[in-house]
Amino acid sequence: MGVIALIGPAWICVLALCAVLGDAFLPFLPSGTLVILAVLRTSQVAGAPILLALGVAVASFLGDLLLLALARRGAPLVDRRLAGKPQLAASVERVQRSLSDRGARTGAAMVIIARFVPGGRTVLDLAVGHSPEQSRSFLRWSALAAVLWAGYIVTLGWLNSHWFNTAWLSLAVSCCAATTISTAVAQVIRRHRRQSAA
């Protein structure tokens, strides 16, 4: 927290938005942690959490649009990444099959749930980008998922900023809670996948 404390709240917000935009391509970016940190640094500014949530939702949706467009155009960067990571390619194929075999309601649920799973957003964007079907319905659900995730992560940081007296404890509890929730969602998906396969 010492080095981060030297960075102004405005720059923390910029870093958070850039990470949210970029983690569609690079899921290892700590976008959730940076958003929570931005909330903690701006929690005393009137209206800051709402503005930050709107910015996070827009950045999240724009990240989906960019990766979707690159996948649809067969960008060499995307193709090389799939070729170099067989596990990622297998996940993309599995999601494509699920989207084509199941109804629109299940597809909508997948889009929303994927936002809360580490790397799920990347896999889903690549799967839709490589599918022949139109992506209008995906974009609607992606926008809703972006709003839900932005509201969730900003609210988590805001609540913890008011429950604890120290910024480092608020950050630690918020990040642990976000990680726990994401892990729980991923475990439910894996269990459901194993049951479906059985």
Q: What's the pLDDT band for 3 if we cut at 50, 70, 90? A: very low
DSSP 165: S
In total, the chain counts a number of residues equal to 198
Residue range 107-134: average pLDDT?
A: 79
Q: What is the phi-psi region of residue 133: left when phi exceeds 0, alpha when psi lies from -120 to 50, beta otherwise?
A: beta
- Which tens digits make up the pLDDT trace of 41-68? 887 788 888 999 999 999 999 999 998 8
CA dist., res. 55 & res. 49, Å (int): 10
**What is the pTM assigned to this prediction?**
0.77
Say what the pLDDT of residue 2 is. Answer: 45
SS3 content of the chain, % helix, strand, coil (to 5): 80, 0, 20
pLDDT of 30 above 80: yes
DSSP 131: S
CA 84, 86, 91, 93 dihedral sign is: positive
Mean per-residue pLDDT over the chain, rounded: 77
Residue bearing the bigger pLDDT, 165 or 8 = 8
Pick from 58-62, 75-79, 86-90, 128-132: least confident: 75-79
Determine contact, residues 127/99, Cβ cutoff 8 Å. yes
Q: What's the pLDDT band for 6 if we cut at 50, 70, 90? A: very low
Residue range 18-30: average pLDDT?
A: 87
